[in-house]
Amino acid sequence: MAETAAQPEIVTIPCLKDNYAFLLHDPATEATAVVDVPQAAPIVATLDARGWRLSDILITHHHWDHVDGVADLVAATGATVWGAAADAARLPPLDHALAEGDPVTIGGLTGAVIDVPGHTVGHIAYHFPQAGAVFTADSLMAGGCGRLFEGTAAQMWDSLSKLAALPPETLVCSGHEYTTGNMRFARSVDPVNSALMSRATAVDAARAEGRPTVPSTLALELATNPFLRAADPAIARQLDLTGADPATVFARIRSLKDAF
């Protein structure tokens, strides 16, 4: 009987106060990538504990709490750095400058770049079908989405719509532990959603035990994340926007969250 190939591994690494970095490891080739580097030390410690060698660094966007440790990590490991060509001037030096649809190869794993402007205009996500995961940082988040610091609501809705089209079983590896607050807000705009109520209870239990709520699954986000549900008539009714287009409903949800 033929042996089953070892599956890619994903490790969630808490950094700073509430950030996450992620290791993506290909057992077949021993290649390992990290997605975002808020700080180098926790990543180096996790690599050492597992006996893995870092081969690649994947950057999602330019904010300091996602790139501050890149220079130290490159110095420590010699890893190759990937990031958005459109934002190269604001990122650490890139070995590979990327645009939407470009392939990203980590050992035997091939991912694709998804352009997801909104939080920043140069934000990208990385989808790795073989790992069943998308690394979304501050675009699609667990129960929420990133603030619109640079982009427009229409841009962010378009970005989230791209991510929503991925297979529902996809793991959503987002960049922060914001889920408790996101659940509180979600209940205010989607108060009769039983799946949301169940998720909020599970999130509270996980955090009480010190467990991360990230990654989530796209199916869970589609069922409970109001920012992905702007096309749902029930959400529009709750916001007195019956008949409005989803981008308009999304913009209202985002403005309400900003003031929440």
Residue pair 159/150 in contact (Cβ under 8 Å)? The answer is no
Q: How far apart are CA 87 and CA 14, in angstroms?
A: 25
Q: Which residue has the tokens 């009480």?
A: 208
Residue 97 parent element (H or E): strand 96-98
Q: Is 63 a catalytic residue?
A: yes
d(CA 59, CA 232) in angstroms, rounded, equals 33
- Is 96 an annotated catalytic residue? no
Sole residue written with tokens 């982009």: 151
Contact 30, 41 (CB under 8 A): no
- Residue of 63, 115, 123, 127 marked active site: 63
Determine which one of 25, 61, 123, 127 is catalytic.
61
> Phi and psi dihedrals of 243, rounded to 5?
90, -10
Please confirm, yes or no, whether 123 is among the known catalytic residues: no
Beta-carbon-side half-sphere exposure of residue 69 (alpha carbons within 13 Å): 23
The Cα–Cα gap between 26 and 151 comes to 34
d(CA 93, CA 91): 6
Catalytic pick from 62, 119, 123, 127? Answer: 119
From the candidates 62, 66, 123, 127, give the one annotated as an active-site residue.
66
> What is residue 37's three-state secondary structure?
coil
For the question of residue 127 being annotated catalytic, the response is no
Catalytic residue among 62, 123, 127, 176: 176
Compute the distance between CA of residue 207 and CA of residue 20 in angstroms, rounded to an integer.
Answer: 15
User: Which residue is catalytic, options 36, 56, 65, 115?
Assistant: 65
CB 38 within 8 A of CB 73: no
Instruction: Please confirm, yes or no, whether 65 is among the known catalytic residues.
Output: yes
Catalytic residue among 56, 87, 138, 190: 138
Annotated active-site residue 26? The verdict is no
Residues catalogued as catalytic: 61, 63, 65-66, 119, 138, 176
